[in-house]
Amino acid sequence: MKLLHTADWHIGRTLNGYSLLDEQKYAFKQILQIAKDEKVDGIVVAGDIYDRAIPSTDAITTLNEMFKELNIDNKFPIYAISGNHDGAKRLNYGRDWMEFNNFHINTLLEEAFTPIETEDTQLFLLPFFDPMDARVYYQQQGMDEDKVKGIRTIGDAMTLVVNDMYKSFDTDKKHILITHFAVSPSADKEIELTSETTSKVGGLETVIASQFDKFDYVMLGHIHTHLASPSDKIRYSGSPVKFNVKEAKMTTDKGIYIVDTDEQPDKTDFRKITPGTDLIVLEETWETLLDPEFYSKQPVRKDWFAITIKEFDRSQHVSTNVRAQLQDIYGTVVELDYDNVEKKNDQEATSQNISQMSNEDVVGKFFESITGDELSEEQKSLVDNIFVELERGE
């Protein structure tokens, strides 16, 4: 069975107020063409289909057209799951009749235990879930109350879930898992979450690759670079589009994987996706940015720019409209920052950029600054649960 593995479309995402829909459509056209060229047997979308639980009308219309083109116009089966950004219950609407057209989407934990059967493969579609979802599910299954209370982490829950999946294995078929989590190669080696999130709340904490060792192949979503893949048979496809400056700074390409269950995975399985409008990161002095010899070598008025002006003294440019001057030269500047070295002090040098902190850490730092005490474990758990519910929009 030959599958196209993609994930983290985040349809409806914006970059500092600039819509990324056109860029997402451009990437989608390449995904569709790759699927045609490779004559795949299906398209996998491993979560975070939308960027938010309640997407905009434009996002809904765009995704509807994409799925229509894949599934109805070109007859590609779709195997999709919800991620932590998706509204699971809303995305579940229409699931039953979609299956008649070979469009399979799982958004709830209880749906994950029945595999989708093909001639030679069983596909298990495990959407994002958190420990509370697992506790509710297993309580409904009649599990002993003490054992239910023992489901404290996503690792605890995943062990139970995967073991129950193993019970449905057909030994004459290959077994594919599609899921959406941060998966570490081992217990003592965590992965960087890149741009997806700095949070490790609830289900966003990592699980261990060995928990999936009985599957022939695992298709992951959640981390936005394929280089985070724990192994050759447990892989992230990464997102098809650069979503922020951190991703733009990475030298790795965006793309998708072609997975053939009859062959061993290797590096040639990756297919590059080329940006329509790239995001270029520049960190230079004001003088360099205004130097024609420098900017003539840049894709000015073609791509988007995120610019940090180094060694910048604002007092020398009081009457200068800095952004306007840069946009006259470069075109669209989606992000502008300043590196004011003369204003740095010891406090700034040691402080953590709030944009790099998780929501939970921000709350913890604020609580500590007001009370002088750290959050208790019970308070941390309460904060975690609140942010899970807010993010999922349920």
The per-residue pLDDT for range 258-294, each reduced to its tens digit, is 999 988 888 789 999 999 999 999 999 999 999 999 9
- Distance of alpha carbon 375 from alpha carbon 206, whole angstroms: 22
48-104: pLDDT as tens digits: 999 999 999 999 999 999 999 999 999 999 999 999 999 988 888 888 888 889 999
The distance in angstroms from the start CA to the end CA of the chain is 36
pTM: 0.83
- Lowest mean pLDDT segment, chosen from 231-245, 293-307, 346-360, 380-394: 346-360
CATH superfamily of the 2-129+170-273 domain? Metallo-dependent phosphatases (3.60.21.10)
Element (H, E) at 130: none
- Distance of alpha carbon 320 from alpha carbon 220, whole angstroms: 48
Tokens describing residue 175: 């077994």
Please say whether the beta carbons of 160 and 138 come within 8 A: yes
Element (H, E) at 97: helix 95-98
Q: Of 78, 105, 77, which Cα lies nearest the Cα of 91?
A: 105
- DSSP per residue over 153-170, as a string? SHHHHHHHHHHHHHTT--
Tokens describing residue 258: 């072609």
Domain ranges of the chain: 2-129+170-273, 279-343, 350-392
- Distance of alpha carbon 332 from alpha carbon 159, whole angstroms: 48
Tokens describing residue 295: 């900017």
6-52: pLDDT as tens digits: 999 999 999 999 999 999 999 999 999 999 999 999 999 999 999 99
Tokens describing residue 366: 């604020």
